[in-house]
Chain A
Amino acid sequence: MAAGMGQQWVLVEMVQAFYEAPAYHLILEGILILWIIRLLFSKTYKLQERSDLTPKEKEELIEEWQPEPLVPPVPKDHPALNYNIVSGPPTHIITVNGKECINFASFNFLGLLDNEKVKSAAQASLKKYGVGTCGPRGFYGTFDVHLELEERLAKFMRTEEAIIYSYGFATIASAIPAYSKRGDIVFVDEAACFAIQKGLQASRSNIKLFKHNDMADLERLLKEQETEDQKNPRKARVTRRFIVVEGLYMNTGDICPLPELIKLKYKYKVRIFLEESLSFGVLGEHGRGVTEHFGINIDDIDLISANMENSLASIGGFCCGRSFIIDHQRLSGQGYCFSASLPPLLAAAAIEALNIMEDNPDIFQTLRAKCERIHKALQGISGLKVVGESFSPALHLQLEESCGSREDDVKLLKRVVDYCMNSGIALTQARYLEKEEKCLPPPSIRVVVTVEQTEQELDKAASILKEAAQSVLN
């Protein structure tokens, strides 16, 4: 091993140095050799694997366990077992169980479900592309209609970029966990819809609920967070904070106070995610949603998410915002990367619907006028109170005094709905997964206003509801 320059490193010299080595060095090397031997013979073990139960206790636990039935017993009149069957498209006139009714239940706000132009665009796209895409966006599932729809949506909402999801529920449920991880804090309204709740659950972040539309409560929570941050500034530097609100809440029909939220955002440095499923295509002069309604600069909102299943009468959802934010979802949005992309015929239908929305900006005003009309007409029904803003197209009718239990309320409302259905008005109750919701809203009838309903029909619906309430509740 003759290496190096200048000195001859003969092996003899080296071994001699070994004999003359200082004792402490050799002792240390001996310890290290022993350590290596111990290492080589130690078993792998997981750090947290400590079960403190003796075998006897384990046996006892196994004895006590009773298996739950695979199919729990369900009462015969459970609503999921007796559903109404719709034949034909759920447009303005809907055929429920063979009876024709005026549709006050489908979220077809702009009446685009049955629009001839939309249907012909969809059929042309069906002839060109076939029905499905058979692949996620990253795997030959991106078609030019998808890119076109994304561009059009971004231009319509006046943001930098938009991203399309193929299922409306999955839009917000994938967008939230893409940004918010373990250790991050999300302030969310109590009346947030189920999709948001699932997104928050998937994100594993710390959730702080504030009372519905109560900015004082939110400010209190933000202040508490700020004091905690000051105690531990290094931790605060790596936690991200978000506020998730809806534009028009599906569960209550209220609007979120966006200007105050923007002020809170800049004061406490949190990011806002706005979910505009009900307000896209409804609020604002051109239908751009809550931001246009309040006249707020769209760059103040970090992410706007909406589903296209309400106003645009298509399937799927989109998120829009700055490029920097939306681009992140292209790799971390689970619903984007791991689901098949939107069928091209639905994307073409959505593009056509956007065209119609851009060409006729007066339908939004008409829709809001009709909402106001029915809101006024439904006031003063004995036994039912109207919950929701006057310009919200989906409002709830809740019982003024509850019967005591939720099932009784639900049954009573079902009788009201059945009476209305027999008289030709199709309504529905707002349905929830009772065990899974965080803050279960009281049972209610949901009345949806669309642009296609004439004023006589609105008045007729109001009068039939009055009769139904009179006969059932009194």
Chain B
Amino acid sequence: MNSRGMWLTYALGVGMLHIVLLSIPFFSVPVAWTLTNVIHNLGMYVFLHAVKGTPFETPDQGKARLLTHWEQLDYGVQFTSSRKFFTISPIILYFLASFYTKYDPTHFILNTTSLLTVLIPKLPQLHGVRIFGINKY
């Protein structure tokens, strides 16, 4: 995520997802926003916090085999700019979603839980922690 243009690409990607969801005629605007938020957070959770190891062979003799992508980012250094970007972007999406859903309580619960699933694993205290041994090996 340090390469040029990645941040813009990421934002455009999320925007594209939202436009696709908006263009489905069954969804009203708040539902589309909540769906964007939830799908984005779900994708982020799966790719950054659920899948472990690397999809290709690395010369580190398997050191990162048990680490998720988030833990491998920037070799474990916390609070780098990529990590900050990844933490802030779901928060921004949450703000936009809650604005467009007019602060409706059901949407609120959905959006907040999905935001929490994506924000809590990013805390540095949770680096390498596997709750209840899920996803440990």
Contact = CB atoms under 8 A, between A and B. Distances in A.
Interface of A: 3-7, 9, 14, 17-18, 20-22, 25, 28-29, 32, 35-36, 39-40, 42-48, 177, 181-184, 202-204, 234-235, 237-238, 331-332
Contacts of B22: 3-4
B124 interface: yes
A21 B100 CA distance: 12
Given A29-B95, A45-B78, A331 B62 contact: no
Contacts of A47: 76-78, 124, 127
B65 A183 contact: yes
B29 A3 contact: yes
B25 A235 contact: no
B5 interface: no
Nearest to B53: A238
A22 to B, nearest CB: 6
Interface string B119-137: 0000010010000010011
7 contacts: A3-B29, A21-B102, A22-B108, A32-B95, A36-B91, A177-B61, A181-B65
Contacts of B108: 22, 25
B117 interface: no
A21 B94 CA distance: 15
B61 A32 contact: no
Contacts of B29: 3-4, 7, 9
Contacts of B32: 4
A205 to B, nearest CB: 8
Contacts of B105: 22
B124 A331 contact: no
A17 to B, nearest CB: 4
Contacts of B25: 5
Contacts of A203: 61
Contacts of A39: 79, 84, 87-88
Nearest to B92: A36
Contacts of A25: 98, 103, 108
A291 B123 CA distance: 55
A314 to B, nearest CB: 29
B99 A331 contact: no
A182 B65 contact: yes
Contact of B78 (A21, A32, A44, A332): A44
Nearest to A331: B57
B4 interface: no
B28 A46 contact: no
Given A25-B108, A32-B95, A182-B63, A7 B77 contact: no
B70 to A, nearest CB: 13
B62 A204 contact: yes
Give the 6 A-B CB pairs with smallest separation, nearest first: A181-B62, A21-B103, A17-B102, A4-B29, A182-B62, A204-B61
Nearest to B66: A183
A199 to B, nearest CB: 12
A47 B80 CA distance: 12
B127 A18 contact: no
Nearest to B32: A4
A32 B115 CA distance: 11
Residue among B22, B62, B84, B94 with most chain A CB within 10 A: B62
